[in-house]
């Protein structure tokens, strides 16, 4: 709310004349004027509706033939009690934004070269977009995602997935080398192997 009223009333304060922002050699018109009726008339209607819609639709008191909280009763809802503390805080915040905008911009752009402490603080907060990018990039992206989830996924891929595949490949290569030592191409070695196989089979059946 503070920033809303600050931004709205900044446009209504004679802060920076157009002559200071547009060079003299420019062909642009530098005289200030109100917007045409085709723009101001609809905005005026919206402003009136915005002011009175809440009061008429859900007033906290009876307004003649309009019952208090009639819209809440129409919806079969219980209207909350009027909270003077919340209303006071909202009003004070709105007035603070209006006052800050008037004091900051009424003397023109030269006043902004020597801003107040509040001006420096708000400028730093707003220029850094409430530090949401720092929070997102520094904490969520770098720490949670990069150093957390993504790093964990990298370790799982390196040691579990790649490790399992590399282990199977190592077993295949080395077991193949061991078996290859038996394939000498000599008939007597193969005959010895067949004989040993027959002996093992006979012993197996003998022990049954």
Domain boundary among 67, 96, 127: 127
Q: Is residue 35 part of a domain?
A: yes
Count of alpha carbons within 13 angstroms of residue 18, beta-carbon side? 9
Q: What is the number of domains present in the chain?
A: 2
Q: Are residues 71 and 44 located together in one domain of the fold?
A: yes
The predicted structure's pLDDT at residue 193: 83
Pair 74, 143 in one domain:
no
Residue 156 covered by a domain: yes
- Whether residue 12 is found in the same domain as residue 98: yes
Q: In terms of domains, do 80 and 15 share one? A: yes
Q: Are residues 102 and 147 in the same domain?
A: no
The answer to whether position 38 is within a domain reads yes
Based on the fold, state whether residues 20 and 108 are members of the same structural domain.
yes
Q: How distant, in Å, are the alpha carbons of 31, 46, 53, 98, 162 from that of 6?
A: 25, 20, 23, 5, 59
Domain co-membership, 32 together with 107: yes
Please provide residue 66's backbone torsions phi and psi, each rounded to the nearest 5 degrees. Answer: -95, 115
Q: What is the pLDDT along the chain (208 residues), one digit of tens a residue?
A: 666 665 666 656 554 454 444 455 555 545 556 678 888 899 989 988 888 887 787 777 787 878 888 888 888 888 777 788 988 998 898 888 778 777 766 655 444 555 566 666 766 776 777 788 888 888 888 888 888 889 999 999 999 999 999 999 888 888 877 777 767 777 887 888 889 889 999 898 888 7
Q: Is residue 166 part of a domain?
A: yes
Asked if 145 and 75 sit in the same domain, the reply is no
10 and 58 in one domain?
A: yes
Query: Is residue 147 domain-shared with residue 66, that is, in the same domain?
Result: no
Cα–Cα distance list, 89 to 44, 54, 93, 94, 95 (Å): 27, 18, 6, 9, 10
Is 188 part of any domain?
no
Tokens of 163: 């490790």
DSSP, residue by residue, 172-205: HHHHHHHHHTT----HHHHHHHHHHHHHHHHHHH
Could you identify the residue written with the tokens 């723009």? 39
Please indicate, yes or no, whether residues 110 and 9 belong to a single structural domain of this protein: yes
Q: Is 195 inside a domain boundary?
A: no
Identify the pLDDT of residue 111: 46
pLDDT of 118: 62
Structural domain span for residue 160: 131-174
Considering the domain boundaries, does residue 206 fall inside one?
no
Q: Is residue 13 part of a domain?
A: yes
């Amino acid at each position: 709310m503070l920033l809303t009223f600050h931004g709205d009333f900044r446009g209504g304060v004679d802060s920076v004349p157009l002559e200071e922002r547009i060079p003299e050699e420019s062909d642009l018109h530098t005289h200030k004027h109100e917007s045409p009726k085709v723009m101001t008339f609809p905005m005026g209607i919206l402003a009136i509706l915005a002011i009175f819609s809440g009061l008429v639709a859900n007033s906290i008191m009876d307004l003649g033939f309009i019952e208090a909280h009639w819209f809440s009763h129409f919806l079969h809802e219980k209207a909350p009690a009027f909270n003077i503390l919340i209303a006071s805080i909202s009003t004070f915040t709105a007035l603070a934004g209006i006052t800050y905008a008037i004091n900051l911009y009424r003397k023109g752009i030269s006043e902004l070269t020597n801003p107040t402490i509040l001006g420096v603080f708000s400028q730093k907060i707003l220029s850094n977009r409430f530090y949401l990018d720092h929070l997102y990039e520094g904490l969520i992206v770098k720490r949670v995602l990069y150093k957390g989830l993504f790093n964990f996924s990298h370790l799982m891929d390196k040691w579990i997935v790649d490790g399992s595949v590399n282990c199977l490949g190592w077993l295949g290569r080395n077991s193949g080398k061991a078996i290859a030592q038996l394939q000498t191409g000599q008939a007597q070695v193969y005959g010895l192997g067949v004989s040993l196989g027959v002996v093992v089979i006979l012993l197996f059946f003998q022990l049954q």
